[in-house]
Amino acid sequence: MTNLQGVSSKKTASPRAGLREWIGLAVLMLPTILIAMDLTVLHLAIPSISEDLQPTSTQLLWITDIYGFMIAGSLITMGTLGDRIGRRRLLMIGAAAFGATSILAASSTSAGMLIFSRALLGIAGATLMPSTMSLIRNMFPDSRQRTAAIGVWVSGFSAGSAIGPLVGGFLLEHFSWGSVFLIAVPIMVLLVVGGLLVLPEYKDPNPGRFDLIGAVMSIVAVLSIIFGVKQLAEIGLDLLALGAITLGLIVGYLFIRRQRLLPDPLIDLKLFRVPAFSASLMTYGVGIFVAFGVGLFTAQYLQLVLGLSPMEAGIWSLPGAVISIIASNTAPRLARRIRTAYIVAAGLISAAVGLAIIAQAGIDSLGLVVGGNLLISLGFGFAFTLTIDMVVATAPPERAGAASAIAETAAELGGALGIAVLGTIGMLIYSHQLAATMPPGISAEAAVAAEATLGGAVIVAAGLPADAGAALMSSASYAFVHGLQLVAFVGMIAFAGLTALTLTILRHIRSETAHEDELEMGYETVASISPHPELIAGD
């Protein structure tokens, strides 16, 4: 394969990928496996990190979500940069940086150092997903093959979720928590070696000037809004939160205005005028928002409420990962005969039912949590495979990197906000509930530590007499379950709304074999009606 040379987004006969491309797809699955493993093992490692580094509740949230925040802020820049310098080249640079910063994270000696390391990991991680998604777009021009390839690629997340608990649980039972970050090093080495051997290079032959000012503005806008939302959720309405959100919105508005006027913008705003793109993007982003928020609580529930070891918690997470792999590879086959909207809606309904089941969980409800997770994983396998495919197929090949970056920005922003917003809301419920039911005889200092996090309550309980410790853990467990129930209920409502949106907007997309032409015609229609960027976005 060669670099793109004025490829038209409307194809008459798409070439089919061969053995080299399918081997390349296996290489491109490595980042997806790694990212899913990183998230899973981090959740499993939270109790160990809490015990060793003694982070405050705010620091603990920053440890879990700063990675996603930095990715979200950097994705647009990295996606566009990949279109310019080469998607494989950016992937190789990012993989090397990710491996190096993983070693730094594993060596952290304080909560602040771990937060800093996770921030650097986020910047490096922002190079991975846009590069892999855009390479798939170019390596598999045939729509049927591309949808199947994306199904396999999505399976990487499920495979990582399955492998992560087993590997992470083993490491946490035999080594320190820092070992979970070192998993990334051999995976990144394989990615670099395999990428250099089998991945082709693609880039836009006429990329225009890189908008450095716009890149800085996008980072400032995203990070300011995220910080403001975190402050608002944790502390309530205050000047710092309002100031950060206001700054982010103003800079974001100016960024969009700038993109509308530039001949070579970082974001192709025409994409947002295509209904299938916007609806798929919203479904993907909100789905990740709920998944990350609920996942943060279920991982702690299995270990700290039910008392499972990290390995046992990982084993009970396996069924959901397996069913997700099956669903993500079944969705492309179903899409050849059934309208995309119906498949996506069925997946969302399955996830909503799973959340409704988790919302009924008590302090000893392993079956409900595992069963609910099965239905959620089944739904995500169906919904995410097809929505990602529609997002990628909408953009012309030469702008695949930028379009992929938009999709991953929505996903990472959704994941980061899910942890920050749903995590904070759930922990507020936990703190208030525990404060109201705190057993007598607990010192004020111990009570503050127990109310901060469930991990803190475990540590406090371990230092108390047996009866007092058992009473504290009973109250803390009930309080935490109330938080989990509320988070699951919010997610259920969100998926019900997404189901209605999907059936309304995506119902015109027919089978997998036809939908690419419809998506491309949607993009080209917007371009032909409004050829000037400043007219496409409109006021």
Q: Which residues, other chains included, contact 442 with Cβ-Cβ below 8 Å and sequence gap of 6+?
A: 450, 460, 464, 468, 472
Which residue is it, tokens 């504290």?
A: 472
Identify the DSSP state of 397: G
Closest C-alpha among 523, 528, 509 to residue 395 = 523
* CA-to-CA separations, 368 to 144, 303, 313, 407, 474, in angstroms, rounded: 37, 15, 14, 32, 19
Q: Specify whether the CB–CB gap between 319 and 370 falls below 8 A.
A: yes
The alpha carbon of residue 173 and the mean position of all alpha carbons in its chain are separated, in whole angstroms, by: 27
Structure tokens at 235: 């502390």
pLDDT of residue 502: 86
Structure tokens at 91: 């992937």
Identify the DSSP state of 107: T
pLDDT of residue 11: 45
Q: Which residues, other chains included, contact 232 with Cβ-Cβ below 8 Å and sequence gap of 6+?
A: 238, 241, 242, 245
Structure tokens at 302: 């299995």
pLDDT of residue 528: 46
pLDDT of residue 285: 86
Encode the chain (539 residues) as per-residue pLDDT tens digits: 334 433 344 444 567 777 888 998 899 989 888 877 776 677 778 878 888 888 877 788 788 778 877 877 787 788 778 877 888 889 999 999 999 999 999 988 888 899 999 999 988 988 887 788 778 877 887 777 888 888 888 888 878 877 777 787 788 878 888 888 888 899 999 999 998 998 888 877 676 677 888 888 988 888 888 777 767 666 667 788 889 889 999 999 999 899 888 887 877 777 787 777 888 888 888 888 888 888 888 888 988 899 887 778 778 888 888 898 899 889 888 888 888 889 999 999 999 999 999 999 998 899 999 999 999 999 988 988 888 888 777 766 666 666 777 777 777 677 767 877 788 888 889 989 898 888 888 888 888 888 888 888 888 888 888 888 889 899 999 999 999 999 999 999 999 998 988 888 877 765 444 445 545 545 554 444 443 333 333 33
Type of residue found at 32: T
pLDDT of residue 512: 45
pLDDT of residue 278: 82
Structure tokens at 420: 């920050």
**Three-class HEC string of 65-131:** HHHHHHHHHHHHHHHHHHHHHCHHHHHHHHHHHHHHHHHHHHCCCCHHHHHHHHHHHHHHHCCHHHH
What global pTM score does this model have? 0.75
pLDDT of residue 346: 94
Q: Which domains does the chain have, with CATH numbers?
A: 21-211+262-530 (1.20.1250.20)
Q: Specify whether the CB–CB gap between 108 and 121 falls below 8 A.
A: no
